[in-house]
Amino acid sequence: MNVGIVGGGQLARMLALAGYPLGLCFQILDPATDACAGQVAPLIQGAYDDATRLEALAAWADVVTFDFENVPATAAQVLEQRVAVYPPAGALAVAQDRVAEKTLFWELGIPTPPFATVDCWEELPGAVVQVELPAVLKTRRLGYDGKGQRVIRTVDDLEPAWQALGGVPLILEGFVPFEREVSVLAIRSSSGEIACYPLVENHHRDGILRLSRAPFSGPDLERKGWDYAQRLLNRLDYVGLLAIEFFVKDGRLIANEMAPRVHNSGHWTLEGAETSQFENHLRAILGLPLGATAAVGHSVMLNCIGDLPEPAAVLAMPGAHYHAYGKAPRPGRKVGHLTLRAADPAVLAHGLKRLLPRVGLEADAI
Amino acid sequence: MNVGIVGGGQLARMLALAGYPLGLCFQILDPATDACAGQVAPLIQGAYDDATRLEALAAWADVVTFDFENVPATAAQVLEQRVAVYPPAGALAVAQDRVAEKTLFWELGIPTPPFATVDCWEELPGAVVQVELPAVLKTRRLGYDGKGQRVIRTVDDLEPAWQALGGVPLILEGFVPFEREVSVLAIRSSSGEIACYPLVENHHRDGILRLSRAPFSGPDLERKGWDYAQRLLNRLDYVGLLAIEFFVKDGRLIANEMAPRVHNSGHWTLEGAETSQFENHLRAILGLPLGATAAVGHSVMLNCIGDLPEPAAVLAMPGAHYHAYGKAPRPGRKVGHLTLRAADPAVLAHGLKRLLPRVGLEADAI
């Protein structure tokens, strides 16, 4: 079977590496000649809306998927006329617009922070009254890793935030003073089969995910998260892996955002779950039975931001696994991740203290 | 770091897939344009003794390794003049000649069956007296998967065996009525660090490995096997992964043969050990710390001979993992393997009964 992937970053790279053992072949479309997935699979270099290249990919592939959610709607349309495309374009459209996303959450009974649309400066005061401060002003589209958002603590913050972000459609969201952040990774196959991974606890710095830990022990929260994920998957007639990020506050899950693709907070599944998120995404879009999602031991995933730690220092630690993405170092760029796995949570905690400084975090960061 | 691999079969393929997360790049030399490792890494198509191509590989690579032991001695020499080559040519030379191999075992105090060289028909009767029947007549070189050998039960078998094999240097080995077959997978890094995997129990049919199970519970045997492996690794100044196949008889290990490379009986380590044999071979030849070799649960690996089972039927089983090699089906050809892993040996045994018929074995085969 031939799988086309639009987008050639580390997610595409890890999808291909997970797919080869299933006997799959890959082609990747990316505008960058040095897209890191191109090191492990044939790269079609071209713009995401280049109809000729999209048609070539569609003609070759049995199924096409994405490694990012901001695929131009036109690209998804060109592809969908010719080949099976998962996740469905409708799910991409929802995920591309924070208002559509939060509106859908609300319709499905999934709690969200209060929110209001802000299309022009004049609408901002009304939104502040509706949402209440503190709040976060965000672009409706194309935000990621904390980009395209500003925290509004007082009315004095409004004008600078507007200067930074205004001119495109915005959303004002209530700021949630959360106790922790968690995510749910759920998969739905083209046959309708659904599976969910154990709950993941996430730690961000400056809007960028730095650390994920799983399984997170919280049976009630996990049950809720799985329930919410299933509502979303079924409503969207979703096929593939979907991630939902939640805030935890007073024993409640409050949905922050969803990602219609394999997700950074699921990288621990490569070693820490019976079947990785990458393999399960491929199984889902190919209509194969989903693999077991149970955790194998306890895992922590650490993102390598900017540059990679010395491999020898990491690999000398029992249970440590190294994932370089083949990307050049650059400040703020995700260039790899480490996973530490142990059968015993106490052993994991001990190893984690030693590993944290390797990725620029303090030994007592979590 | 750039790693060259001479030989582009499934072992090279799995080495590359294990090496990408370490940030490695690969080039593969193989005479076949459709060598299956070429689906996952750039392929240099050329003969193993093509000096121009070997020089190009050596110029590009930081280290060169092999996916099979019968690399022409001239090829290893061309490479060694230009680049680090592991395992060392001396280990390849020993492994290429059953007499050199068994002589080295004997020197190191590693038990072997009785054996005698047979260079011409006239030497055969003397060898039979020395070794005693039943025995196995084998070519000294280029035998694999049961090819190039004949069992001699009575003197009547001598002439047909000679007709089939004679004309090249032979070895006559005493036939061991073994209780079981096991293998030891051991790694030595260029820094001299050594690690050994849990003992593996193997089942062959018609000379071809069909099933490996690990960890095999036999602490005394395991201690012996690890000791023998360490003697070999140190004597050969070995770097990389080495496999030794043993017969078990009356609580003793009797060495059958060694393979100076990653080994079919170590494929279970992809899911069943903390670090796979492929990653550990790469760590060793790059001078990186070796990864933990502890088993993660209990695993059985089943070879797919001739063709692959339907993926859906296999993947529907919890704990089952599918490894297609991207090779065309052909009778007797290893085209993939399956691994079944479970935390509980009873669960594993139950699943195994269901999986065995998928690879052409009876449900009660082991």
Residue A150, domain CATH: 3.30.1490.20
Tell me, yes or no, if B357 comes closer than 8 A to chain A by beta carbon. no
| DSSP letters spanning B213-257 | EES---HHHHHHHHHHHHHHHHHTT--EEEEEEEEEETTEEEEEE
Q: Best interface-test mutation with B: which of A190, A322, A327, A347 has the largest number of B CBs within 10 A?
A: A322
Give contacts of B283 with chain A, Cβ < 8 Å: 315
Q: Answer with the one of A174, A195, A226 that is the final residue of a domain.
A: A174
Tell me, yes or no, if A312 comes closer than 8 A to chain B by beta carbon. yes
pLDDT of residue B145: 65
Tell me, yes or no, if B93 comes closer than 8 A to chain A by beta carbon. no
Residue range B11-42, pLDDT digits in tens: 999 999 999 999 999 999 999 999 999 999 99
Is residue B234 marked as binding?
A: no
Two tokens, residue A124: 């901002």
Picking from B274, B296, B326, the nearest residue to A23 by CB comes out as B326
Asked whether residue A107 is domain-assigned, the answer is no
Q: Best interface-test mutation with B: which of A3, A315, A338 has the largest number of B CBs within 10 A?
A: A315
pLDDT of residue A146: 65
Residue A29 and residue A54 share a domain? yes
Helix (H) or strand (E) holding B349: helix B345-355
The residues that bridge with A287 in the sheet, in sequence order, are none
Beta-carbon contacts of residue A273 (< 8 Å; ≥ 6 apart): A197, A198, A214, A292, A293, A294, A295, A296
Tell me, yes or no, if B13 comes closer than 8 A to chain A by beta carbon. yes
pLDDT along chain A (366 residues), means of 10: 98 98 98 97 96 96 94 88 95 94 97 96 93 94 77 93 89 95 97 97 93 94 98 98 97 96 98 97 97 96 97 95 97 97 95 95 81
Residue A189 and residue A163 share a domain? no
Cβ distance of A23 and B336 shorter than 8 Å: yes
Give the whole-angstrom CA distance, residue A232 versus residue A223.
Answer: 14
Picking from A39, A274, A288, the nearest residue to B25 by CB comes out as A39
Residue B257, number of CB atoms within 10 A of its CB: 20
Cβ distance of A23 and B274 shorter than 8 Å: no
Tell me, yes or no, if A193 comes closer than 8 A to chain B by beta carbon. no
Radius of gyration of the CA atoms of chain B, in A: 20
Phi, psi of A153 (to 5 degrees): -95, -40
Q: Best interface-test mutation with B: which of A11, A25, A36, A40 has the largest number of B CBs within 10 A?
A: A40
Give contacts of A296 with chain B, Cβ < 8 Å: 296-297
Beta-carbon contacts of residue A288 (< 8 Å; ≥ 6 apart): A22, A189, A282, B311, B312, B315
Q: Answer with the one of A70, A85, A100 that is the final residue of a domain.
A: A85
Tell me, yes or no, if B39 comes closer than 8 A to chain A by beta carbon. yes
Helices A219-235 and A98-107: crossing angle in degrees, nearest 10, is 110
Cβ distance of B21 and A296 shorter than 8 Å: no
Domain of residue B330, CATH code: 3.30.470.20
Beta-carbon contacts of residue A313 (< 8 Å; ≥ 6 apart): A358
Q: Answer with the one of A174, A200, A225 that is the final residue of a domain.
A: A174
Residue B335 and residue B202 share a domain? yes
Give the whole-angstrom CA distance, residue B257 versus residue B278.
Answer: 20
Tell me, yes or no, if A316 comes closer than 8 A to chain B by beta carbon. yes
Asked whether residue A94 is domain-assigned, the answer is no
Is residue B325 marked as binding?
A: no
Q: Are strands B25-30 and B2-6 parallel, antiparallel or unpaired?
A: parallel
Cβ distance of B274 and A341 shorter than 8 Å: yes
Nearest-CA distance B133 → chain A (Å): 44
Phi, psi of A164 (to 5 degrees): -75, -35
Asked whether residue B246 is domain-assigned, the answer is yes
Residue B196 and residue B122 share a domain? no
Phi, psi of A360 (to 5 degrees): 80, 20
Give contacts of B328 with chain A, Cβ < 8 Å: none
Angle (CA) B338-B207-B10 rounded to 5° is: 40
Cβ distance of A296 and B291 shorter than 8 Å: no
Cβ distance of B23 and A336 shorter than 8 Å: yes
Residue range A112-164, pLDDT digits in tens: 999 999 999 999 999 999 999 999 999 998 766 667 899 999 999 999 999 99
Signed CA dihedral, A140, A143, A148, A149: sign only: positive
Asked whether residue A315 is domain-assigned, the answer is yes
Cβ distance of A291 and B315 shorter than 8 Å: yes
Asked whether residue A290 is domain-assigned, the answer is yes
Cβ distance of A21 and B323 shorter than 8 Å: yes
Tell me, yes or no, if B327 comes closer than 8 A to chain A by beta carbon. no
Asked whether residue B107 is domain-assigned, the answer is no
| DSSP letters spanning B5-54 | EE--SHHHHHHHHHHGGGT-EEEEEES-TT-GGGGTS-EEES-TT-HHHH
Is residue A143 marked as binding?
A: yes
Signed CA dihedral, B309, B306, B14, B45: sign only: negative
Is residue A69 marked as binding?
A: no
Cβ distance of A296 and B297 shorter than 8 Å: yes
Residue A81 and residue A53 share a domain? yes
Tell me, yes or no, if B315 comes closer than 8 A to chain A by beta carbon. yes
Asked whether residue A104 is domain-assigned, the answer is no
Residue B200 and residue B79 share a domain? no
Q: Taking a contact as any Cβ pair under 8 Å apart, which residues of chain B between 16 and 35 contact chain A?
A: 17, 20-23, 25
Residue B307 and residue B352 share a domain? yes
Phi, psi of B42 (to 5 degrees): -60, 135
Q: Give the residue on A whose Cα is nearest the Cα of B24.
A: A326
H-assigned helices in chain A: 10-19, 51-60, 73-80, 89-95, 98-107, 124-131, 158-165, 219-235, 269-272, 277-285, 311-315, 345-355
Residue type, B90: G
Average pLDDT, chain B: 95
Q: Best interface-test mutation with B: which of A2, A15, A20, A307 has the largest number of B CBs within 10 A?
A: A20
Two tokens, residue B276: 């796979």
Tell me, yes or no, if B289 comes closer than 8 A to chain A by beta carbon. yes
Asked whether residue A137 is domain-assigned, the answer is yes
The residues that bridge with B246 in the sheet, in sequence order, are B182, B255
Residue A304 and residue A195 share a domain? yes
Give the whole-angstrom CA distance, residue B7 versus residue B145.
Answer: 17
Say if residues A248 and A269 touch (Cβ distance below 8 Å).
no
Tell me, yes or no, if A322 comes closer than 8 A to chain B by beta carbon. yes
Nearest-CA distance A23 → chain B (Å): 5
Give the whole-angstrom CA distance, residue B174 versus residue A173.
Answer: 80
| Domain count of the fold of chain B | 3
CA nearest to B245, candidates B259, B233, B266, B227: B259
Residues with pLDDT less than 50, chain B = none
Which structural domain, as residue segments, surrounds residue A161? Answer: 114-174
Give the whole-angstrom CA distance, residue A16 versus residue A282.
Answer: 9
Residue A240 and residue A299 share a domain? yes
Residue B321 and residue B277 share a domain? yes
Give contacts of A289 with chain B, Cβ < 8 Å: 312, 315-316
Residue A261 and residue A197 share a domain? yes
Domain of residue B26, CATH code: 3.40.50.20
Give the whole-angstrom CA distance, residue A253 versus residue A178.
Answer: 10
Give contacts of B293 with chain A, Cβ < 8 Å: none
Q: Give the residue on A whose Cα is nearest the Cα of B308.
A: A23
Cβ distance of B40 and A40 shorter than 8 Å: yes
Residue A218 and residue A294 share a domain? yes
